[in-house]
A and B are shown apart, each in its own frame.
Chain A
Amino acid sequence: MKIVVNGEAADTRAHTLAELLAELGLADALVATALNGAMVRAPRRPATAIADGDRVEILAPMQGG
């Protein structure tokens, strides 16, 4: 399935957002997620299905001013 992760084209076997994070090695990472521009809270990730063409954002703490 072809999706877009953080602005870049990606191929995934994951069916849910939680599976996608695991696939990317981010299962235990402190991240916030959004699907097609809408935030998905951590507890909702296992039940959030992803489909072909979806846009996923995975955000982490970063330096800021």
Chain B
Amino acid sequence: MDAMNVKPDRVEFYGSAVSSRLLLGTAQYPSPAILSEAIRASGAEIVTVSLRRESGASKAGQSFWSLIRELGVKVLPNTAGCKTVKEAVTTAEMARELFGTPWVKLEVIGEDDTLQPDVFGLVEAARILSRDGFQVFPYTTEDLVVAEKLISAGCEVLMPWGAPIGSGRGLNNPYGLRSLRAHFPGIPLVVDAGIGLPSHAAAAMEMGYDAVLLNTAVAKAGDPVRMARAFAQAIEAGREALLADPMETRDMAAPSTPVMGRAMLGD
């Protein structure tokens, strides 16, 4: 294919197109400077942010916000830690005012050990927020029926977990993720949470996921900036591999070197 004819490979979330398929979290970095540098190295155009109680003395939130604004990235505010529909909806409303965006990464957490979504509360909150003009990115499981209900509730993006938040286990249920992809070919799907290594992110992209959202794997690496770059490369490689149409796997060997014309050197 002529390089001039290659269409830019972009992904759209609620009508907003981005080139980078890595969405990066901003928490747990060793320092604000390393956070900045890691975001730049990752090439991410969307970063997740949150809102927390501000103390009059430290004003930590204000300096964090100016750092993010300097980077010129889009922000995706989350409702992390919310356990009820009411909490999540109020937090989303406050985030919309604070960050000036209708985007919200909707989390309604149902269980403390796994931080797994309360999918019943999630669907209810998604319906309320969508009706109120929010563009909801729901943090969900790979369950097909829940996915269907989230779409009926107004979600135009789904973000199934790879594994529990912060666990670094990768894709716990490849079969479930693959069937979710197959069932919703037209919906942007983002693997969110549980990614530990660039190879996990590449695998998600090879499966046909549109993007990957991660935080801890970069923030808690010995060298977060280098890891951010590694993830960017892996995600690009996985995407390219998908577009290149991988070969079929088979059970038995098939010689790659032509057999015809081989010298007969045995006895």
Say whether A59 contacts B90, CB under 8 Å. Answer: no
Give the shortest distance, in Å, between A52 (CB) and chain B (any CB): 21
Known contacts: A59-B54, A61-B61. The answer to whether A32 contacts B49 by CB under 8 A is no
Interface residue ranges of B23-43 to A (CB < 8 Å) = 25-29, 35
Contact: B165 with A6, CB < 8 Å? no
Q: Is chain B's interface secondary structure helix, strand, loop, or mixed overall? A: mixed
Q: Give every chain A residue within 8 A of B78 (Cβ-Cβ).
A: 64-65
Query: From residue A21, how far is it (CB to closest CB) to chain B in Å?
Result: 9
Chain A hits for B86, CB < 8 A? 37
Contact: B26 with A39, CB < 8 Å? no
Within 8 Å by CB of B51, from A25, A32, A41, A65, lies A32
Contact status A31-B216, CB under 8 Å: no
Contact A7 B97 (CB under 8 A): no
Residues of A contacting B51 with CB < 8 Å? 32, 59-62, 64
Which of A25, A32, A57, A61 lies at the interface centre, i.e. has the most chain B CB atoms within 10 A of its CB? A61
Partner of B94, one of A7, A25, A32, A64: A32
Which residue of B26, B95, B165 is within 8 Å of A63 (Cβ)? B26
B80: Cβ under 8 A from any A Cβ: yes
B98 to chain A: closest residue by CB? A32
Interface hits, A24-65 → B, CB 8 Å: 24-26, 29-34, 37-39, 41-42, 57-65
- Expressed in whole angstroms, the Cα–Cα distance for A62 and B64 within the complex equals 7
Name the residue among B26, B59, B94 with the largest chain A CB count within 10 angstroms.
B94
The interface residues of chain B lying within 8 Å CB-to-CB of A63 are 25-29, 35, 49-50, 64
* Distance in angstroms between the alpha carbons of A31 and B53 in the assembled complex: 9
- How many chain A residues touch B (CB < 8 A): the figure is 25
A residues less than 8 Å from B216 (CB atoms)? 65
- A–B pairs, 29, beta carbons within 8 Å: A6-B55, A7-B53, A25-B56, A25-B59, A26-B59, A29-B59, A31-B54, A32-B95, A32-B98, A41-B97, A58-B54, A59-B98, A60-B59, A60-B60, A60-B65, A60-B98, A61-B49, A61-B65, A62-B49, A62-B52, A62-B64, A63-B25, A63-B26, A63-B49, A64-B48, A64-B50, A64-B51, A65-B48, A65-B80
Nearest 10 CB-CB pairs, A to B? A60-B61, A64-B50, A65-B25, A60-B54, A65-B215, A32-B94, A24-B56, A62-B52, A61-B65, A6-B53
Q: Could you tell me which A residues sit within 8 Å of B by CB distance?
A: 6-7, 24-26, 29-34, 37-39, 41-42, 57-65
